[in-house]
Amino acid sequence: SAVGRGPEVPFRSEAYSISAIARGKELRLTLSALDPAAGPPAQDLVFRFGMSGSFRLCLAAELPRHAHLRFLTRESPPRALCFVDPRRFGSWRLGAAWQPERGPCVVSEYQAFRENVLKNLDDRAFDKSICEALLNQKYFNGIGNYLRAEILFRLKIPPFEKARTVLEALKEQEQRKKDPSLTLSKKVKLRQENPDVLELCHTVPMEVIMAEKQLLDPEHSDNYAAFKNWLQCYLVPGMSSLRDRSGRTIWFQGEPGPMAPKGQRPRKKSPQVKAEPKALSPKATPRALKRRCSAAVNPQKSEEKEEEKEEEADGARKGRARGRRKATAAPALPEVPLNVRRSHRISARRGKGAAPAV
């Protein structure tokens, strides 16, 4: 599109196919001409989705807003496969290479992911709290804000426990699972009954992937409701929240842990109660009442906006904090009695045009 920030795609073909493979938070599309002899060479694109990027298939005449890249079909009427990104945090780049600083994928490369974490526990990344370490894509490629909350909640791990403390305990579990006296069925049962944090980094995203048709389409309210029902911790009433040291909000239950940021008190999310529409009053216009009722019926949208504002403000907040000055409240003016104000107005009208008193 004219406002898209990504590079132009130098691929032109009358008939081609699109295939895709995912790795963590990246997706690689490959465009291949159906007639390799007559068509151009294959073209690879690697996408990052940011907070709001997604792909959508729709009629070419009914393109959604913010469709920044479109692949058209030849059928009648033609359809378009669109990369839609309202907030423009997503991106694409030419070529097949994955980002080099990202580690093995938690979903498709589980064993390599697990080994990469356990053999590098002396890295300074694990000096941080476990909730902050889980967002480090060098080791946890694919884990984001809602997934870390769900994983830690299921294991009852305080989010601000030191990451190395949590993960070093897994080495002992590894040795127990390799006990030659255990049969394969017993090993599988042990793993299912006592999953560790690295195993849940694989299985929790898989739950979402397996149910993606029901859980991941924000355009359909029923599907979004199914996703909200799947969540056990993130944005759930009764859960507490704190900002970690990078400014991201972590949701949890119970104590935050020994590395919780000082000077913050956990905020607990209260249950949403559907408000009854209030009768019109002189100060409540129909438009204001409509907004009030809409907010009561659709509380999840305000929750999403609140969370998105937190993410968007991360960088700006750090810069403003350095130069912020303490604001001082203006002194309150004394209230003038009503009868005095009236007498002043009457005197002003009577003396209009007269010379001021000395």
Per-residue pLDDT tens over the stretch 119-141: 999 999 999 999 999 999 999 99
The residue among 63 and 293 whose pLDDT is bigger is: 63
In a domain, 315, yes or no: no
The CA–CA distances, whole Å, from 256 to 34, 162, 260 equal 55, 11, 6
The residue among 254 and 332 whose pLDDT is bigger is: 254
pTM of the prediction?
Answer: 0.70
The mean pLDDT of 264-269, rounded to a whole number, is 87
130 backbone dihedrals φ, ψ, rounded to 5° = -65, -35
Q: Are residues 147 and 184 in the same domain?
A: yes
Q: Are residues 134 and 210 in the same domain?
A: yes
Per-residue pLDDT, 223: 67
Quick check: 280 pLDDT over 50?
Answer: no
From the centroid of its chain, how far is CA 358? 69
Tens digit of each residue's pLDDT (9 = 90 or more) over 208-224:
888 876 555 556 656 67
Domain with 54, as residue range(s), is 16-94
Number of structural domains found in the chain: 2
Using 50, 70 and 90 to split pLDDT, how confident is the model at 274?
Answer: very low
Three-state SS sequence of the chain? CCCCCCCCCCCCCCCEEEEEEEECCEEEEEEEECCCCCCCCCEEEEEECCCCCEEEEEEHHHCCCCEEEEEECCCCCCEEEEEECCCCCCEEEECCCCCCCCCCECCCCHHHHHHHHHCCCCCHHHHCEHHHHCCCCCCCECCCHHHHHHHHHHHCCCCCCEHHHHHHHHHHHHHHHCCCCCCHHHHHHHHHHCCCHHHHHHHHHHHHHHCHHHHCCCCCHHHHHHHHHHCCCCCCCCCEEEECCCCCEEEECCCCCCCCCCCCCCEECCCCCCCCCCCCCCCCCHHHHHHHHHHHHCHHHHHHHHHHHHHHCHHHHHHHHHHCCCCCCCCCCCCCCHHHHHHHHHHHHHCCCCCCCC
In a domain, 321, yes or no: no
Q: Are residues 176 and 238 in the same domain?
A: yes
Per-residue pLDDT, 116: 97
Q: Classify 306 in phi/psi space as left (phi over 0), alpha (psi -120 to 50) or beta.
A: alpha
Q: Classify 183 in phi/psi space as left (phi over 0), alpha (psi -120 to 50) or beta.
A: beta
Quick check: 307 pLDDT over 90?
Answer: no
The mean pLDDT of 234-255, rounded to a whole number, is 95
Using 50, 70 and 90 to split pLDDT, how confident is the model at 4?
Answer: confident
In a domain, 357, yes or no: no
Per-residue pLDDT, 176: 62
In a domain, 284, yes or no: no
Order of all β-strands in the sheet with 240-243: 249-252, 240-243, 267-268
In a domain, 105, yes or no: no
Quick check: 314 pLDDT over 60?
Answer: no
Q: Are residues 87 and 126 in the same domain?
A: no
Q: Are residues 114 and 260 in the same domain?
A: yes
Per-residue pLDDT, 215: 59
Last residue of a domain, one of 41, 60, 94: 94
Q: Are residues 126 and 87 in the same domain?
A: no
Task: Kindly report the CATH number assigned to the domain that includes residue 129.
Answer: 1.10.8.50
Q: Are residues 116 and 59 in the same domain?
A: no
Task: Provide the mean pLDDT of the chain.
Answer: 78
In a domain, 320, yes or no: no
In a domain, 63, yes or no: yes
Last residue of a domain, one of 239, 264, 289: 264
290 backbone dihedrals φ, ψ, rounded to 5° = -65, -40
Using 50, 70 and 90 to split pLDDT, how confident is the model at 325?
Answer: very low
Quick check: 240 pLDDT over 80?
Answer: yes
Per-residue pLDDT, 244: 96
Task: Kindly report the CATH number assigned to the domain that includes residue 53.
Answer: 3.20.190.10
Q: Are residues 155 and 89 in the same domain?
A: no
The mean pLDDT of 201-205, rounded to a whole number, is 96
Last residue of a domain, one of 61, 94, 127: 94
Most confident of 60-64, 270-274, 312-316: 60-64
Residue of 29, 220, 60, 249 whose CA lies nearest to 149:
249
The residue among 88 and 347 whose pLDDT is bigger is: 88
Per-residue pLDDT, 38: 85
The sign of the dihedral angle between the CA atoms of 139, 144, 150, 153 is: positive
The mean pLDDT of 170-183, rounded to a whole number, is 69
The residue among 263 and 130 whose pLDDT is bigger is: 130
In a domain, 226, yes or no: yes
The CA–CA distances, whole Å, from 65 to 29, 56, 87 equal 22, 11, 11
Q: Are residues 201 and 60 in the same domain?
A: no
* 12-16, 67-71, 88-92, 287-291: range with lowest mean pLDDT: 287-291
Q: Are residues 151 and 235 in the same domain?
A: yes
Quick check: 252 pLDDT over 50?
Answer: yes
Quick check: 51 pLDDT over 90?
Answer: no
Q: Are residues 116 and 258 in the same domain?
A: yes
Largest CA distance in the chain: 111
Q: Are residues 162 and 223 in the same domain?
A: yes
Length of the chain: 358
What's the rounded Cα separation, in Å, for the pair 158 and 244?
A: 13
